């Protein structure tokens, strides 16, 4: 099957040639798909009916909104989308003063197994296509009529475990002729797949790399994240150094605070020793309790003290503002509760 929405402009030109069409049609079709966000060939009014007919064998992906929840506190919207094959994925729209940010999923499920994360509990079902990653943004922009200016890949899935599709998605998202979102406004979050971080660095894009660290040493990290048994923290941090050298982009370290596990003053001191030389920023996130897991979030005071300690050691740090705290909680939980519901109805 040819997934037309996952094609870049060059591939679309080739397709036009194969179909015996003029290559300028590629640009027109690309613009309909990625700028005007149409969901059918019928909407492509400057494309001759005969060509539209020929194209009808190439389905255009689109998502069905299965559920939306809106926060009464801050207007955050959580979307549950159904894919063509019936799988469901989650995306979140966050409205900030500086613009709208969309958090998207990169896979259906995840195989990384982080202990505190709800998205990985059922394992990995499949990778998302570039078009399916784009569709999350396109659907939200269409549904709200509001422009999206920031994209974070922090939904379900490990983006670097779906690497080829991720690159293609980033290309279509940021290049001219589509939504043309600035690379600087895109963040890719990873649990730390070292060879892929190094590959991504070679692309020399201006995207932000967010590294899920969550621990100050290998022992603690291995307790929370199975991937840490594959790549030592030193290797991960070295990959971050390379990423900065190649791209000039400051690294974001994500650190979810779990009560009694990684939130002590000693943990903060050890962490700052390890990352002091890296041009970075630490984002502290009080862990969202997941009902299948026993982890508890750190107290407000512990979070504040952790921040102060890092600051004293000269580290840039912020506490992640919680968005949409009144709607279906943490990452992946809307999808999970939906799946549990449909499961029990069977
Ligand atoms: N797989 C990628 C991106 C998806 S998760 C990654 O690991 O970075 C996005 C972020 O949310 C990661 O930092 C992840 O560790 C964190 N996260 C997952 N579950 C969480 C929870 N219950 N509470 C707080 N942070 C969580």
* Residues 52-82 pLDDT 10s: 999 999 999 999 999 999 999 889 999 999 9
235 catalytically annotated:
no
DSSP state of 228: G
Average pLDDT, the chain: 94
| Residue 86 confidence (pLDDT) | 97
Question: Which ligand 1 atom sits nearest the alpha carbon of residue 214?
Answer: 15
90 catalytically annotated:
yes
Give the Cα separation of 334 and 263 in Å (integer): 27
Please answer whether residues 227 and 112 qualify as being in contact, where contact means their C-beta atoms are separated by less than 8 angstroms: yes
Helix 163-174 with 194-203: angle, nearest 10 deg: 30
Instruction: Name the residue with the closest Cα to ligand 1, atom 2.
Output: 190
| Residue 328 confidence (pLDDT) | 65
Question: Mean pLDDT throughout 134-154?
Answer: 97
* Ligand 1 contact, 288 CB (< 6 A): yes
Region of 62 please: left (phi>0), alpha (psi -120 to 50) or beta: beta
Q: How many beta carbons lie within 10 A of that of residue 342, not counting itself? A: 12
Res 343 pLDDT > 90? no
Q: Which of 90, 132, 158, 254 is catalytic?
A: 90
Question: Mean pLDDT throughout 309-327?
Answer: 90
Res 332 pLDDT > 70? no
Kind and range of the H or E element at 303? Answer: helix 300-312
Q: Using alpha carbons, select from 195, 41, 63 the residue that is nearest to residue 128.
A: 63
CA of 105 to the centre of ligand 1 (A): 11
| Residue 329 confidence (pLDDT) | 54
Please answer whether residues 88 and 137 qualify as being in contact, where contact means their C-beta atoms are separated by less than 8 angstroms: no
Res 22 pLDDT > 80? yes
Model confidence over 190-211: pLDDT tens digits?
999 999 999 999 999 999 999 9
Res 345 pLDDT > 90? no
CA of 146 to the centre of ligand 1 (A): 26
| Residue 130 confidence (pLDDT) | 98
- The pLDDT confidence band at residue 330, using thresholds 50, 70 and 90, is low
Cα distances from 268 to residues 51, 257, 261, 283, 345, in angstroms, run 61, 11, 12, 13, 46
Question: Mean pLDDT throughout 25-49?
Answer: 97
Res 40 pLDDT > 90? yes
Q: Using alpha carbons, select from 148, 31, 165 the residue that is nearest to residue 105.
A: 165
Cα distances from 330 to residues 32, 154, 157, 304, in angstroms, run 35, 12, 14, 21
Instruction: Name the residue with the closest Cα to ligand 1, atom 8.
Output: 190
Instruction: Name the residue with the closest Cα to ligand 1, atom 20.
Output: 117
Res 87 pLDDT > 70? yes
Res 258 pLDDT > 80? yes
Strand order in the sheet with 208-212: 64-70, 77-82, 88-96, 99-103, 148-153, 186-190, 208-212, 251-257, 280-286, 317-319
CA of 346 to the centre of ligand 1 (A): 30
């Amino acid at each position: 099957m040819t997934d037309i929405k996952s094609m870049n402009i060059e591939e679309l030109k080739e397709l036009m040639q194969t179909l015996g069409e003029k290559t300028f049609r590629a640009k027109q079709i690309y613009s309909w798909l990625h700028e005007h966000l149409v969901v059918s060939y019928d909407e492509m009014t400057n494309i001759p009916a005969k060509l539209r007919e020929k194209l009808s064998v190439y389905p255009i992906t689109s998502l069905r909104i299965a559920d939306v929840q809106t926060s009464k506190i801050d207007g955050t919207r959580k979307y549950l989308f159904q894919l063509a094959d019936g799988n469901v994925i989650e995306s979140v729209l966050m409205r900030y003063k500086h613009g709208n940010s969309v958090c998207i999923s990169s896979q259906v499920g995840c195989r990384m197994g982080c202990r505190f994360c709800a998205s990985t509990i059922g394992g990995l079902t499949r990778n998302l296509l570039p078009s399916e990653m784009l569709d999350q943004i396109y659907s939200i922009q269409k549904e709200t009529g509001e422009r999206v200016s920031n994209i974070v890949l922090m939904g379900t899935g490990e983006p670097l475990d779906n690497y080829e599709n991720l690159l293609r998605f980033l290309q279509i998202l940021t290049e001219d002729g589509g939504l043309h979102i600035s690379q600087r406004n895109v963040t890719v979050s990873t649990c730390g797949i070292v060879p892929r971080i190094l590959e991504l660095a070679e692309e020399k894009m201006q995207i932000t790399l967010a590294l899920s660290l969550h621990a100050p040493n290998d022992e603690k990290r291995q307790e929370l994240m199975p991937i840490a048994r594959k790549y030592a923290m030193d290797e991960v941090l070295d990959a971050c150094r390379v990423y900065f050298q190649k791209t000039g982009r400051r690294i974001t370290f994500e650190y979810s605070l779990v009560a009694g596990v990684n939130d002590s003053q000693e943990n903060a001191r050890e962490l700052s020793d390890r990352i002091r030389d890296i041009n970075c920023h630490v984002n502290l996130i009080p862990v969202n309790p997941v009902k299948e897991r026993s982890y508890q979030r750190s107290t407000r005071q512990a979070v504040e003290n952790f921040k102060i300690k890092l600051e004293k050691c000269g580290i840039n740090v912020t506490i992640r503002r919680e968005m949409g705290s009144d709607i279906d909680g943490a990452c992946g939980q809307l999808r999970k509760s939906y799946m549990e519901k449909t499961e029990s109805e069977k």
